[in-house]
Structure 1
Amino acid sequence: MKKFNLLYIVLIGLVTGTISSCESKLDQSPISSLGSNAFYQNEEDFITALSGVYNGLNAYPINHFELSEVRSDNIYTPGTAGVRDYNLINNFNRNLEATSIMSDTWNGLYNNIMRANTLLANLSADVVQDEDLRTRIEGEAKFLRALFYFDLVRFYGKVPVFDQPVTPLEALEIGRSEVPVVYDLIISDLEFAITNLPPNYTSAADFGRATSHAARGMLARVYMTRSGPQVHPAGPALGTNEWGEALEQLDAIIDSDQFDLVDNYADIFAYDNENNEEIVFDIQFLSGGQGVGGEYVQYHYPEAFGRSNGIPFAGGTFPDAPKTVSADVMDSFNDADVRDDFSVWVNYFDTNGNLVQDRFIKKYLDLDNLGVDRFDFELNFPVIRYSDILLMKAEALSQSGGNQLEIDALVNQVRNRAGITLPLIGVSYEQIMEERRREFIGEGLRWHDLVRSGMAIDTMTEWVEEEDDANKIATDINSDDLIYAVPLNQLDVKEGLYQQNPGY
């Protein structure tokens, strides 16, 4: 068996308590007696509950495409008629607090954190007597909690910190913590995961579980995000200059010899090559109408394309709001580069045989591997790849005055796999970030990279001037735009508990 972690299990509803009725209370609802202590009776109950925490990753690919890729210079989707939430994201709209994408992301992440906290609060030697298993469960839950909080701090800046279940009344007394305080919990959780999780799993049934290397890769990403210049006073970049700490984690992954680049870029995303040697951590999906397929794939292609190519219950982006891959990123690819042809679909015919001129992300789409509907794509989603490890190391070396020959070698290793045999010499920081842009197009990293690098405002301002033919994107992009609006339903929970982020 494969892909253990996204199975919907009815009992998870018992574990997580009364979720829907308490979303306005930060999803930290009190746990019913049947849903907590009475549920955790044996080791299998904790494995079931842990699967419920992993299930929270379902929305990860969608969140990062909509809030990172669409926000960046990789995607141009101003909207032509109706206004979708992702059009407002693309357009740097300053009235985002009432949108469903803001509230769904915030509530979803806190729901996931509640699940992790409930599991951790009930985990004990009395029930899980096997110490190795108990420690591994704790490590996995803490890895996931760290990942959810890292998303929150990158999207919203200051957020409330809950490291254990609380009642709604208790939640009403807990305000937003400063960003360094949020990072303290994230780093502590990841350090625990590094120390207590195995480097790999030998059973296919465990593929997709967090490992010590996954935690190292995420911790490196955390250190690098913190190290970026502090452009926004409450944003995720703090100017901490922890490049050396990041390098320590990245070198441990590289020196393990457990990972490598696959020979062909397309093979990373092949439906018959999942869990390959390039994957440090990914999100597992199934197909076959079991309710655990990858809905994220349909967030890229146009609805008309889906219908004309036989995708059942096609879904896709709306006719008035295509998510067009930008001309700027397409022009950045070298003629020898294989990544643009594989990653981007250029033009298609609709059901009437009319040519539609558009460009969209297709690296996750295989028309020979369709599920029963648009929610049912099987392909796993990569969160951390080995090429990311290599390019993060090049970035950290560049930022810390590292050896230029080593920087060049790391970047050229990734470029060579992409088909570019002419090496770069004296690779600059800007060139590293552009290489990341091409390597990870459509993977939800670009906006985070721009914020971390301190390049977001200048890059997007220049891009809007060149790309925005519809004149719908804000022309006064500034530091306030580096994080998103606190959802209106959270501001309304209790007057004065939270303050809106500046600019919204």
Structure 2
Amino acid sequence: MKTTKKLKKWSSAILSGLLLLGVSCSDEFLEVAPTDSLADAQVSTQPGIEGLLIGTYAALNGVFGNRFEGPNHWVTGSVMGGEANKGTDAGDYSAINPVQRYEIDPTSGDINFLWRGRYEGVSRANAVLATLANSTEIQPAVASRIAGEARMLRGHFYFDLKKHFGNIPVFDETLAAPEVVLVPNNGDAWAQIEADFQFAYDNLPAENGAGRVNKWAAAAYMGKAKLYQGKFAEAKTWFDDVIANGVTSNGLKYALLDDYAQIYNAENDNHAEVVMDVESANNTGSTANANYFDDLNYPYNTGPDGPGNCCGFFQPSFELANSFRTSGGLPLLDKSYNDAGNALANDYNVESDEPFTPDAGELDPRIDWSIGRRGIQYLDWIPHPGKAWIRSQPYAGPYSPKKYVYYKSQENSFTDGSSWTRGYATMNYTIIRYADVLLMAAEAEIEAGSLEQARTYTNMVRARAADPAYWVSNDGGATPAANYVITEYPASQFATQESAREAVRFERKLELSGEGHRFFDLVRWGVAAEELNDYLAYESTLLVTKFGGASFTGGKNEVYPIPQSQIDIQGPDVLVQNPNY
């Protein structure tokens, strides 16, 4: 049984135990407490507060079951970042259609769910802190650890809101209750986020057990927050600390896994690359504890020979697949990978029973850990058959997602088959992993002028991908499935800050593809309009109906609209809409 399931079970056990505390053998048994709530005295015990804390962890996975709430941000981070499109066909989950065209409206119910879900997480963290402040039963060391976890989680929820919506309301556990207090979205969110991460770093242990945040997760997240603000020297200090001293919550020294594919394998959860993750579990009575947010994101209608038996969403883009082209083992940083002579050969509009010759050119091996494409072994299922696994190639292209997909050997052990699809998988989603830390550290080093150190960190990531022992094979490991050629960057690529930035930014695209980071990276680099309009221009030559006439509007689309329903509730003088919506 997965260790990661324990937190979910603890939550039920704690709450059940608390409810039993209300039963008495005295003659006051006729005084029945409300059955749908717990008294303050019950919650303010250590088990009670731990139960509230576990409820806060649960909010990492989303609260209302809407897929925009998912921690992987496959729509708001990856689809909006141009590394994937919605997939499936035009009529399925059509609310995403305007999102992928950068035409999202403030009335979007999905965006409202994202807003509500993250603020529910903030509310739960605040409830932990407020209850803890009024408790007299908890030892100081335990109280510090609980407060550190709650503030770390609150910092995460606020960071997520900040990167999506820009100007957001910020409040802490001291907000008066039960009075209704309206908080405008003009607070200093970064100050609150940094304060939360600093407190977490100062008060959390280095090792805190599987599924819980520790001080090194706080340090990595603080470095990320500094990076987003352009505080590169400060970010470097935090990343240096993590790289030199950081350990996972299980006490493993942070390291890159030898086998890239094992990052996304449920049987290898809580590995040495996990800095902060979201835990999952199956067969708990609710598929919400599994990766419900990915239940649509498997090849379409694959039957017994493929995973999910469902929907065909989240299809990697042509542009992303082409990006894995190499020349002499190095990526084509000048974007010539989209040119006719370099674009990846694919089976677009080729029937599965028709002949197809896979691409024979040089490719980064990470393509076949990241993208399902015809003729290449798809985990332990079968070689991807092409169009037979795609719902509508003319609408969404020829590729399938491959990360965070379960293996055939894991059905009914690492999947929850209690609902309409087999696709509720139980691998943990990693919010921050060590490769991400190394590449963020490389960015900070570039801005500090330490170009050679930035090259070292970047090449650590490339060196892992270059080990042929772990390349995808169609015959059990003897022969690589494609012409994989990858080398480390030479010193000449890091001779100037401009060329070094170009390399590190592209490395993030390749290494972290499909993991929900791309859109937010483009925005913080200030290149979203240029990059995404180039993406649309190219993709629309192939998917004309979907992307024809679409454009990214600079000064608007860098952030999402404040949900109109929230403005209606609180008033436009409290919540001010983002510009140009």
TM-score, structure 2 normalization: 0.73
Question: What aligned pairs does 1:178-193 form with structure 2 within 5 A after superposition?
Answer: 178=187, 181-193=188-200
Check conservation: 2:80, 2:519, Cα contact below 8 A: yes
Alignment partner, residue 475 of structure 1: 551
Question: 1:331 is matched with which residue?
Answer: 322
Partner-residue secondary structure (3-state), 2:424:
coil
Hey, what does 1:244 align to over in structure 2?
233
AA aligned to 2:410 is N
Match of residue 122 from structure 2: 113
| Alignment RMSD | 2.9
- Match of 1:230? none
**1:407-486 maps to which residues of 2 (within 5 A)?**
407-419=454-466, 422-425=487-490, 426-427=493-494, 428-468=500-540, 469-470=544-545, 471-472=547-548, 474-486=550-562
Q: Any idea what the Cα deviations from partners look like across 1:233-260, whole Å, max 9, x if unmatched?
A: xxxxxxxxx1011111100011116211
Assess, with a 3 A threshold, how the Cα gap between structure 1 residues 475 and 311 changes in structure 2: closer, same or farther: closer
Structure 1 match to 2:359: none
Aligned to 2:3: 2
Give 1:442 deviation, angstroms. Answer: 1.3
2:140 corresponding residue in structure 1? 131
Q: By how many angstroms is 1:494 displaced? A: 3.4
1:64, distance to aligned residue in structure 2 (A): 1.5
Local SS of the residue matching 2:145: helix
1:162-173 map, 5 Å? 162-164=171-173, 165-167=175-177, 170-171=180-181, 173=182
Structure 2 counterpart of 1:369, one-letter code: Q
Pairing 1:150–2:135 present: no
Q: Distance in 1 between matches of 2:549 and 2:441?
A: 34
SS in structure 2 of the partner of residue 153 of structure 1: helix
2:561 is paired with a residue whose SS is: coil
Q: Report the Cα distance in structure 1 between the residues aligned to 2:455 and 2:239, rounded to whole angstroms.
A: 17
Q: How far apart, in 2, do the equivalents of 1:360 and 1:473 lie?
A: 25
Shift of residue 356, structure 1, vs aligned partner: 7.0
Residues 447 and 351 from structure 1, CA distance in 2 versus in 1: closer, same or farther, beyond 3 angstroms?
closer
Measured in 2, the distance between the counterparts of 1:198 and 1:114 equals 24
Q: Secondary structure at the match of 2:212?
A: coil
Residue 254 of structure 2 corresponds to residue 214 of structure 1 = no
* 1:304 maps to which of 301, 305, 308: 301
Q: What is residue 443 of structure 2 aligned with on the other side?
A: 395
- Counterpart in the other structure of 1:502: 579
Q: Deviations over 1:340-391 (max 9, x none)?
A: 1011112455998999752122111123223233463110111111111111
Change (3 A) 1:247 1:168: same
Could you say which residue in structure 2 is the equivalent of 1:73?
A: 82
Residue in 2 that maps onto 1:197: 204
Query: Partners in 1 of 2:159 and 2:391 — Cα distance?
Result: 42
**Separation (CA, whole Å) in 1 of partners of 2:562 and 2:13:** 32
Higher Cα Rg: structure 1 or 2?
2
Amino acid in structure 1 at the alignment position of 2:367: D
Question: Are 1:367 and 2:415 an aligned pair?
Answer: no
Give the counterpart of 2:61 among 51, 58, 66: 58
**Structure 1 residues 392 and 226, CA, compared in 2 at 3 Å: closer, same or farther?**
same
Contact residue 43 and residue 127 of structure 1 kept, 8 A: no
Indicate whether 1:160 and 2:131 are aligned: no
C-alpha distance 278-83 of structure 1, shift in aligned 2 (>3 A)? closer
* Aligned equivalents of 1:11, 1:416: Cα separation in 2: 46
* Aligned counterpart in structure 2 of residue 268 of structure 1, from 244, 248, 263: 263
Query: What letter is aligned with 1:381?
Result: Y
Output the CA distance in 1 between the equivalents of 2:127 and 2:439.
36
User: Does the Cα contact within 8 Å between 2:71 and 2:431 map onto a contact in 1?
Assistant: no
**Cα deviation per residue 1:410-452 (whole Å; 9 max; x = unaligned)?**
1111011111652212232122111101111111111111111
Q: TM-score, normalised by structure 1?
A: 0.84
Contact 2:404 2:427 in 1 (8 A): yes
Counterpart-to-counterpart distance in 1, 2:137 and 2:549: 54
Distance 1:443 1:63, change over 3 A: closer
1:223-262 matches, within 5 Å, as 223-227=226-230, 242-256=231-245, 258-262=253-257
Distance 2:526 2:243 in 1: 27
Aligned mates of 1:73, 1:354 — CA distance in 2: 19
Q: Contact 2:279–2:429 at 8 Å: present in 1 too? A: yes
Maintained 8 Å contact 1:14/1:34: no
Q: 1:302 to 1:272 in 2, by over 3 A?
A: closer
* One-letter code aligned to 2:567: L
User: By how many angstroms is 1:475 displaced?
Assistant: 2.3
Tell me, what secondary structure is at the counterpart of 2:373? strand
Cα 1:447–1:128 change in 2 (3 A) is farther
The match for 1:98 among 94, 107, 127 is 107
Deviation at 1:35, TM superposition (A): 4.4
Alpha-carbon spacing, 1:136–1:316, altered in 2? closer, same or farther (3 Å): farther
What is the CA–CA distance in structure 2 between the aligned matches of 1:66 and 1:412, rounded to whole Å? 29
In 2, the alpha carbon distance for the partners of 1:225 and 1:85 equals: 29
Match of 2:451 in 1: 404
Which is worse superposed, 105-114 or 74-83? 74-83
The residue type paired with residue 250 of structure 1 is F
Partner SS for 1:368:
helix
Q: Are the counterparts in 2 of residues 308 and 351 from structure 1 also a CA contact under 8 Å?
A: no
1:190-221 deviation digits (Å, cap 9, x = unpaired): 000001111123xxxx3010011001111111
Partners of 1:174 and 1:364 lie apart in 2 by 38
SS of residue paired to 2:557: helix
Counterparts of 2:39 and 2:205 in 1: how far apart (Å)?
Answer: 28
SS at match of 1:190: helix
After TM superposition, give the deviation of residue 10 of structure 1 in Å.
8.7
Cα deviation, residue 76, structure 1: 2.5
- 2:565 alignment partner, SS class: helix
List runs of 5+ in structure 2 lacking aligned partners. 19-34, 63-68, 247-252, 327-361, 375-383, 467-484, 495-499
Q: Is the 8 A contact 2:121 2:157 kept in 1?
A: yes
1:493 alignment partner, SS class: helix
Q: Assess if the C-alpha contact under 8 Å between 1:224 and 1:246 holds in 2.
A: yes
